[in-house]
A and B are shown apart, each in its own frame.
Chain A
Amino acid sequence: MKPIRMAIALLALPGIAAADPMDRVIDDTIDMHILPRFAALNDLTQTLADVAAEDCDPDAVALRSAYGDAFDAWISASHLRFGPTEANDRAFALAFWPDSRGATPRALKSLIAEQDPVVASADAFRQVSIAARGFYAMEFLLFDDTLKQAGDPQYHCNLIQTMSTDIALTSHNIFEEWQSEFAITLREPLPAGVYRSNDEVLQELFKALATGLQFTADTRLGRPLGTFDRPRPTRSEARRSERSARHVMLSLTALRDLSEILARGDTKLMTSLDASFQRALSQLSELDDPTFASVSNPQARFKVEVIQNSIEAIRTIVRDELGPKLGVAAGFNALDGD
Chain B
Amino acid sequence: MKNTLLSSSALLVAFATPALAVEKSEVLDTYADIAAAKYEDSLVTAQTLQSAVNALVANPSAEALQAAKDAWLAARVPYQQTEVYRFGNAIVDDWEGKVNAWPLDEGLIDYVDASYGGPSDENEFAALNVVANPTFTLSGNAVDATDITPTLLAETLHEADGIEANVATGYHAIEFLLWGQDLNGHESGAGNRPWTDYAAGDACTNDNCGRRADYLVAATDLLVSDLEWMSAQWVDGGAARTALTANTDAGLAAILTGMGSLSYGEQAGERMRLGLMLNDPEEEHSCFADNTHNDHYFDGLGVQNVYLGEYVRADGTLVSGPSLSDLVSAADASLDAEMQGKLSTTMMSLARIKTAAEAGFAYDQMLERGNASGEALVMGGVNGLIDQTRSIERVVSTLGLDQIAFEGSDSLDDPEAVFQ
B-contact bits for A325-338, CB 8 A (1 contact / 0 none): 00111111111111
The answer to whether B264 and A130 have CB atoms under 8 Å apart is no
The answer to whether A324 and B103 have CB atoms under 8 Å apart is no
A4 CA to B405 CA, complexed, in Å:
21
Cβ-based interface call for A16 (8 A): no
The answer to whether B12 and A3 have CB atoms under 8 Å apart is no
Q: Which of B230-287 contact A (CB under 8 A)?
A: 260-267, 269-270, 273, 277-280, 282
Q: Which of B1-24 contact A (CB under 8 A)?
A: 4-9, 11-12, 15
Could you tell me the distance in whole angstroms from the C-beta of A120 to the nearest C-beta in chain B?
14
The answer to whether B12 and A7 have CB atoms under 8 Å apart is yes
The answer to whether A100 and B122 have CB atoms under 8 Å apart is yes
Of chain B, the residue at the smallest CB distance from A93 is: B277
Q: Which listed residue (B8, B12, B267, B278) contacts A130, Cβ 8 A?
A: B278
If the complex has contacts A3-B4, A100-B122, are A129 and B265 also in contact, measured as CB distance less than 8 A? no
If the complex has contacts A101-B122, A102-B122, A327-B8, are A130 and B265 also in contact, measured as CB distance less than 8 A? no
User: Number of contacting residues on A, CB 8 A?
Assistant: 44
The answer to whether A336 and B261 have CB atoms under 8 Å apart is yes
The answer to whether A332 and B120 have CB atoms under 8 Å apart is no
Of chain B, the residue at the smallest CB distance from A203 is: B393
Of chain B, the residue at the smallest CB distance from A319 is: B407
The answer to whether B87 and A129 have CB atoms under 8 Å apart is no
Cβ-based interface call for B402 (8 A): yes
If the complex has contacts A102-B122, A332-B393, are A7 and B406 also in contact, measured as CB distance less than 8 A? no
Cβ-based interface call for A268 (8 A): no
Q: Please, which residues of chain A bring their CB within 8 A of the CB of B6?
A: 3
Could you tell me the distance in whole angstroms from the C-beta of B57 to the nearest C-beta in chain A?
32
Q: Classify the secondary structure of B's interface with A.
A: helix
B-contact bits for A306-338, CB 8 A (1 contact / 0 none): 000000000000010001100111111111111
A199 CA to B396 CA, complexed, in Å:
14
Stretch of A66-74, A226-234, A284-292 lying at the B interface: A226-234
The answer to whether A3 and B277 have CB atoms under 8 Å apart is no
Of chain A, the residue at the smallest CB distance from B261 is: A336
Cβ-based interface call for B205 (8 A): no
The answer to whether A330 and B406 have CB atoms under 8 Å apart is yes
Cβ-based interface call for A190 (8 A): no
Could you tell me the distance in whole angstroms from the C-beta of B252 to the nearest C-beta in chain A?
14
A11 CA to B11 CA, complexed, in Å:
10
A301 CA to B289 CA, complexed, in Å:
43
Of chain A, the residue at the smallest CB distance from B93 is: A338
The answer to whether B162 and A230 have CB atoms under 8 Å apart is yes
Cβ-based interface call for B202 (8 A): no
Task: List the 3 shortest-distance A-B pairs measured between CB atoms, nearest first.
Answer: A337-B266, A336-B265, A337-B265
Known contacts A103-B280, A334-B264; 6 additional CB pairs below 8 A are: A3-B11, A96-B277, A100-B165, A226-B162, A229-B162, A338-B270
A-B contact pairs, 20 of them (CB 8 A): A3-B7, A7-B11, A92-B277, A93-B277, A100-B165, A199-B8, A199-B397, A229-B162, A230-B162, A234-B121, A319-B407, A324-B403, A331-B260, A334-B265, A336-B87, A336-B260, A337-B262, A337-B266, A337-B267, A337-B269
